[in-house]
């Protein structure tokens, strides 16, 4: 079956530090890959996505590249802000599986200190 | 923008009660999902639906049922609430297709006393 493994947290960084959150996946087919962000007291919201190998998703200064050879989709940001403090989820979804079901990682909590 | 609305942000119920959690989406999405989120356990899929009146069990359906009588509304039912169902419940919707993201509501924090 499909699975997503992401870097365990919590991660604590100082403002303007470089962020990497690792994500690797196992899938039987050719998945699309997603990063979601959950701010305190809210639901998840899509941060970025990539639908095929070597695609780069980007949004709000965050980037992730779909690496088929290493089955990875690591999230990066060059300079984090306090407002980036949140829980980040890596996820995959495949064509042909039930109704667009997604497989989620366990989430990584990021705290950015001023 | 897609809006997924969950009827309550906070809910307190008693053991043994029948509890209804309601979710409505406004973008004509085919798929709808119910998850529960607990510390250290990530997101766990309870049930999902890919069409009106259709439903499929997720990973943890025991103690829950669902209803989808209209495309925009997906209800989660706790038949006889128990304290181990105290949790954050998240509803989501999406279009059909492997490259479609899910859109989430803000969640209902349910406490069973």
- Tens place of pLDDT for every residue, chain A, 114 residues? 889 999 888 999 999 999 999 999 999 888 999 999 999 989 999 999 999 999 999 999 999 999 999 999 999 999 999 999 999 999 999 876 555 789 999 999 999 999
- CB-based contacts of A13, cutoff 8 Å, min separation 6: A19, A80, A110, A111, A112, A113
How much is the pLDDT for B6?
96
Reported confidence tier of residue B85, pLDDT bands at 50, 70, 90: very high
- Check whether B31 has a pLDDT greater than 90: yes
| Beta pairing partners, A35 | A48, A90
Q: Answer whether B101 sits within 8 Å of A46, measured CB to CB.
A: yes
Measured in degrees and rounded to the nearest 5, phi and psi for residue A7 equal -55, 135
Partners of B68 on chain A (C-beta within 8 Å) are none
How much is the pLDDT for A99?
56
Residue matched to tokens 């979710």: B23
Reported confidence tier of residue B98, pLDDT bands at 50, 70, 90: confident
Partners of B25 on chain A (C-beta within 8 Å) are none
Q: Over the range B77-94, which residues count as b (16 or more CB within 10 Å of their CB) and which as e?
A: ebeebeeebbbebbbbbb
Reported confidence tier of residue B2, pLDDT bands at 50, 70, 90: low
Q: Answer whether B31 sits within 8 Å of A94, measured CB to CB.
A: no
How much is the pLDDT for B36?
97
pLDDT above 70: percentage of residues in chain B: 98
Reported confidence tier of residue B10, pLDDT bands at 50, 70, 90: very high
Sign of CA dihedral A13, A10, B33, B105: negative
Reported confidence tier of residue B97, pLDDT bands at 50, 70, 90: confident
Question: Mean per-residue pLDDT for B1-9?
Answer: 88
Q: Identify the contact set of chain B against chain A, taking CB-CB distances under 8 A.
A: 4, 30-31, 33, 40-43, 45, 48-50, 56, 90, 92, 94-107
Q: How far is C-alpha B93 from the chain's CA centre? A: 10
CB atoms closer than 10 angstroms to residue A58? 14
């Amino acid at each position: 079956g499909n699975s997503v493994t992401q870097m365990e947290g919590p991660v604590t960084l100082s403002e303007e530090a470089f962020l990497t959150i690792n994500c690797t996946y196992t899938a039987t087919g050719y998945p699309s890959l997603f990063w979601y962000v959950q701010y305190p007291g809210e639901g998840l919201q899509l941060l970025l996505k990539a639908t095929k190998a070597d695609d780069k998703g980007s949004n709000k200064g965050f980037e992730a590249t779909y690496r088929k050879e290493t089955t990875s989709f690591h999230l990066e940001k060059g300079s984090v802000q306090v407002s980036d403090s949140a829980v980040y989820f890596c996820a995959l979804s495949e064509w042909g599986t039930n109704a667009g079901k997604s497989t989620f990682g366990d989430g990584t909590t990021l705290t950015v200190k001023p | 923008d897609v809006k997924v609305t969950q009827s309550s942000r906070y809910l307190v119920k008693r053991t043994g009660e029948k509890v209804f959690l309601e979710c409505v989406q406004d973008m004509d999405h085919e798929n709808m999902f119910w998850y529960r989120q607990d510390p250290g356990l990530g997101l766990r899929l309870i049930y999902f639906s890919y069409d009106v009146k259709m439903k499929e069990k997720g990973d943890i359906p025991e103690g829950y049922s669902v209803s989808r009588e209209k495309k925009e509304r997906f209800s989660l039912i706790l038949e006889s609430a128990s304290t181990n169902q105290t949790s954050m419940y998240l509803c989501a919707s999406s279009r059909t297709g492997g490259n479609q993201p899910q859109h989430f509501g803000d969640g209902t924090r349910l406490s069973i006393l």
